[in-house]
Amino acid sequence: MLNILYSLLFYLVSPFFIYALYKKKKGKPTIGRRWKEHFGYPPKLKSTQNPIWIHAVSVGEVIAVSPFIKQFKQKYPTQSIVLTTTTSTGAAQAEKLGPLIEHRYMPLDFSFAIKRFIKIISPQQLIIMETELWPNTLAITAKHNIPITILNARLSERSFLRYQKIKGIFDLLAKNIDLILCQTNEDATRFISLGIKEKNIQITGSIKYDINIENVDIIKAKNLKKQIEDRPVWIACSTHSGEDEILLNAHKNLLNKIPNALLILVPRHPERFSNVLSLIQSLKLKSLARSSQSPLTKDVEVYLADTMGEMMALISVANVCFMGGSLLGDKVGGHNLLEPAYLGKPILNGPSFYNFKEIATQLINIKACTICHNQNDIFQNLNTLLRSETLQKKQGSAAQQMVEKNKGAISKSIHYLERFISL
């Protein structure tokens, strides 16, 4: 009965979901003629082998699962992989994996679309990155005797309490999942409290710790560093609407103390690029958009990163990193702090980080991450850090050591997934 009610509800709300998915926005890649894939019409794969189907909803999940895919292909070079994303920005990020995968759009959670997708693709197993769980997808996949694994699974206290209130819906999801690879003991305990059998849960740690910088990013960083020379630089990553004003005003204050300071501003969503550029200009700050490919001259005060997939290169050239999505109360819940930590950068973060609570807490405890509640906090901490190379190295080194200590989740995950692999 719950399944029928859910399907009826999904049909009712799907027009709004589809509208948001296909709505054209400046800077956002278009889905174009590939829209049919969302309704279960994927092109046939080049490989005739039953692929492993990995689903990563959008950009963040694709970036996170990419090291897993690379390591998996090193061990199983002949095994084909189809990577699905829901969004066009996720698809653009997936293309960077080149021949390691074939990309298809994830069918929407209509029964007919899922059935047709499975018939055409014929996957041997489904691996879902984190917790992108759709009832019809799980139920139909399970009916086809395709094992389902949740990779890098996390369940925050907040989500746990929500699922407790709708236990029937969670049971509808959970009964079709064969394996949950959890990031932490706390995640595993919450899943077990919701009724998942212990035998179906393993603790692997977070695959996000298994991070590396690509050669292409190293080259980009070197080229950008030549233009910046020895200026003090801070980067604000993955910012959301409502945060840019705070960060830009903090930078204006900083320029009064350190006139040659440079801010690299990286908005989270590409459709916001033009609005953020207008905001920078309205604040009378000398700006340059990275997409312009113009030289970064000494008079530029804000460098707007209006390009995709260059975060590692941009963080590499900064002395300090502020992570966005953390100044808006409970609206976003923060973003992944591991990229700046891996690169040995002191980290500033807003007070909201429930999406990455364990990672943030570890970094705070070792004094590699400082919580800033407002514009003045950001300014004061930047002013202190950018004046002290010793303090930068101390905090950055602590962050790097934390990342190294927690590596190994990908190897553990592949080990547990091997029982489902049919070469």
Active site residues: 61
Residue whose C-alpha is closest to residue 56's, from 166, 198, 207, 246: 207
> Rounded to whole angstroms, how far apart are CA atoms 120 and 45?
9
H and E: helices and strands count for the chain: 17, 14
Tokens of 108: 């929407």
Tallying the residues shown for the chain, one arrives at: 423
Residue 31 in tokens: 């889905």
The DSSP secondary-structure symbol of 57 reads -
Of 310, 332, 335, 331, the closest CA to residue 322 belongs to: 335
Task: Quickly count: other Cβ atoms within 10 Å of residue 193's Cβ.
Answer: 12
The per-residue DSSP string of 135-181 comes to HHHHHHHHHTT--EEEEEE---HHHHHHHHHTHHHHHHHHTT--EEE
DSSP-derived secondary structure letter, 202: E
Whether 87 and 111 have beta carbons less than 8 Å apart is answered as: no
Q: What CA–CA distance (Å, rounded) separates 350 from 337?
A: 12
Structure tokens at 74: 């090193």
Q: How far apart are CA 222 and CA 243, in angstroms?
A: 29
